[in-house]
Amino acid sequence: MNGKDLFIGLGDISQKYYEKAEMETIAPAVTRRPLRRPILIAAIIAAMLLLAGCTVMYILRIQDMAMDKYTYTPANTEIPAEERTVISLQGYVGSPNYQATKEWYEFRQSYVLPEDEAEIPMEDRLDYLSYGCFFPEEIAKVDEICEKYGLHPLGIPWMEESVDIALNALGIDGLVLPDTGIEVTYLTNQAYYFGDGTFDIAFTLQFTDENAIWSDPMEFRMRYVKKTAFDGVYGQMGPIENYEQWHYTTNQGVDVLMARSDIQGIMIADREDAFLTVFIGTASASQAEDDPFPTREALEAAANAIDFLVTPGPVDETAAQARLDATAKRLEEERKTYIEKNSTYEGAIRSKIETWWGSSEGINCAFIDIDGNGTDEMLLGSGIEFSGAYMMSENGVISIPGLWDDGTGRTLCICENGIIEIYKKNDEMEAHSYYQYDGSNAKAIITVVHHFGEEDTPWRTYKMDETGNVTWDPISQEDYEETLSLYPRKEVMAIPVDDFLAQ
């Protein structure tokens, strides 16, 4: 496997990964055929789409960045519809970068994907990955826009194994000035760049002074785009009137246009050769009271710590390709080692003890043919409760794909007829999610929830369609109980993993 193979073989990102961001400020996605392969570039494109939620403005006002308006209706009907403004992230009205972005946005809005045309092979569209191009007409439009406005396409987005490597490749020391009394932490797998020096890097800042104006960490994402490049990324924001806007001159003497609402903010520096945006991470509206957004004074103090005069690139793409090839080789070796270690359930358990658990004490296992195809699956847990289900695959033992886990604890139960139930209960609710297991993955059937203490709709049913959209409907207590009765649990006997390994 080489670097190009890594780009090709790892596939494209699934739309479902954008669900949470879409509930907030993600730009409208173009409807596509279902995407099939998770990839390294997925993290890159996901980061770009997350940036598409930024609130952006030029030296005048946010209004000078506007390209369109529309009404956003969330899939969750509990969240009201709101007016949103689509904005350019590359410049102001009248600039070539703004015009290029607007033309690309309008093309995306009207473009209909061909039904019977094969997608261009990944290896033939690496330079157009950041634009989300799959078909010749899309690539032709990117080329047309670049020629029309005298811009160059960005090319391959490079992602490194550490932010330090990315910073070094860009020829910069960092994004925060020294001796500012503020601590910076760069986020893992949240940095990528292009050959001309355009980059996107996420980080957190925290004041270290005991009497600091703001004590909580603040999340940032800086995007630096050369004005000679066609970036193609556009964004959106809520009602403009919800944002306080002002200009601030930093200690570096840079004029920065700043804006904040109760849940998000932005800093914009329009430089002669680049357009620089710093997006301050969003909090959900429901958390705004308990987790307030940084004050105007806190944002100005943070702006004084950020290097708005940073000047990256150009980068050595040959060296970047060599690092990618080395990463691909290492990942292939690790994959082979993993398969070798996890080719049996016994090997998978020993690997977990060695890598994760440290000890097998209190861990139990069970083996059951869930779907009746003659092959046992493995259940792991503690006590008499199971929390994980595993299956054999060509890549060794893996968790059964498709089972919901929000990372806060769950109980996994096996029901009749190949049904897997994910059960969860806390002080606020009791939830039962049912999945049909077919020997290769688990497909969601239905989730029913009882919300304790709610008077209007205490019992609900949740469903997710193939595109990841979630809908819910109120149901009666009788319907809730009837659903539970449709999927009776099977008794599964557990044994200590040490007893299994000793056999």
pLDDT in tens, 100-128: 999 999 999 999 989 889 999 988 999 99
Average pLDDT taken over every residue of the chain: 83
Residues 285-312, mean pLDDT to the nearest whole number: 83
Domains of the chain: which residue ranges? 3-320, 345-502
Encode pLDDT of 173-232 as tens digits.
999 999 888 899 998 888 999 999 999 999 999 988 877 888 888 999 999 999 999 998
Q: Which residue has the higher pLDDT, 334 or 471?
A: 334
Residue 489 binned pLDDT confidence (cut-offs 50, 70, 90): very high
* pLDDT value at residue 105: 94
Report the C-alpha gap between 108 and 232 in whole angstroms.
10
Three-state helix/strand/coil letters over 404-445: CCCCCCCEEEEECCCEEEEEEECCCEEEEEEEEECCCCEEEE
* pLDDT value at residue 225: 93
User: Does the structure show a pLDDT above 80 at 463?
Assistant: no
Three-state helix/strand/coil letters over 76-106: CCCCCCEEEEEEECCCCCCCHHHHHHHHHHH
Q: Which residue has the higher pLDDT, 302 or 404?
A: 302
User: Does the structure show a pLDDT above 70 at 319?
Assistant: yes
User: Does the structure show a pLDDT above 60 at 58?
Assistant: no
User: Does the structure show a pLDDT above 70 at 18?
Assistant: no
Cβ neighbours of residue 211 closer than 8 Å, sequence gap 6 or more = none
Query: Which residue, 304, 295, 279, 145, is CA-closest to 222?
Result: 279
CA distance to 348, 358, 381, 496, per residue, from 355 (Å) = 10, 7, 16, 19
Residue 467 binned pLDDT confidence (cut-offs 50, 70, 90): low
User: Does the structure show a pLDDT above 70 at 44?
Assistant: no
* pLDDT value at residue 100: 95
What interhelical angle do 136-149 and 96-110 show, nearest 10? 160
- Beta carbons of 277 and 267 less than 8 angstroms apart: yes
Peptide bond into 314 cis (omega under 30): yes
Residue 468 binned pLDDT confidence (cut-offs 50, 70, 90): low
